[in-house]
Amino acid sequence: MKHTYTSLEKKLQYTFKNKLLLETALTHKTYAFEAEEPIDYNERLEFLGDSILNFVVSKELYKKNNYFSEGELTRRRAQLVNNVLLSKKALSFDLGEYIYLGKGATLQNIEKNKRNLANTLEAIIGAIYIDSNLRTVETFILKTLLQLR
């Protein structure tokens, strides 16, 4: 399963110290379930990445919009953090080319599925956080992902 990720890291503008984290972020559960030996897959990183993404965007909206109500902040966050926008960004990184999928998922072209692309990008966010720190992942989210800085 070893892969060189240099081109993906260049697109992400982040180089992983621990390549195994990136590999796990790119591993769909269908691939892991078909593997001969147990391997990690991306759902736990996706959970972490989703939480970090929402936190970072919430913090940025809170800092820059002193007069917005809670409801308005929530609405704006939903505009910035959703599967449509995340999947578009994942497509701009050609993320589907790097995802490890099981045979059945490959036949169904799941690497082009918007939800799967968004989920994989969230897993990458979780992996960047573990590989670095909150400041680095915040920069990735705001600058590279959402172009807010």
Q: Exposed e or buried b for every residue in 57-94, given b needs 16+ CB within 10 A?
A: bbebbeeeeeeeeeeeeeebbeebbebeebbebbeebe
Average the pLDDT over 111-134 and give the result. Answer: 92
Give catalytic status of residue 94 as yes or no.
Answer: no
- More confident: 55 or 147: 55
Q: pLDDT tens digits for 44-99? A: 999 999 999 999 999 999 999 999 999 999 999 999 999 889 999 999 999 989 99
- Residue 53 CB partners (closer than 8 Å, separation 6+): 81, 122, 125, 141
The number of domains in the chain is 1
State the chain's mean pLDDT as an integer.
Answer: 90
Q: Exposed e or buried b for every residue in 114-137, given b needs 16+ CB within 10 A?
A: eebbbbbbbbbbbbbbbbbeeeeb
Q: Does a structural domain hold residue 97?
A: yes
Q: Assign residue 19 the CATH number of its domain.
A: 1.10.1520.10
Identify the active-site residue in 50, 60, 111, 138: 50
Q: Does a structural domain hold residue 91?
A: yes
Q: Does a structural domain hold residue 1?
A: no
Confidence of residue 145 (pLDDT cuts 50, 70, 90): confident
Only one residue has tokens 């736990």, namely 44
Domain extent, residue 74, equals 6-145
Identify the active-site residue in 23, 46, 111, 122: 122
Q: Does a structural domain hold residue 39?
A: yes
Question: For the whole model, what pTM was predicted?
Answer: 0.92
Give catalytic status of residue 50 as yes or no.
Answer: yes
Residue among 113, 57, 124 nearest 87 (CA): 113
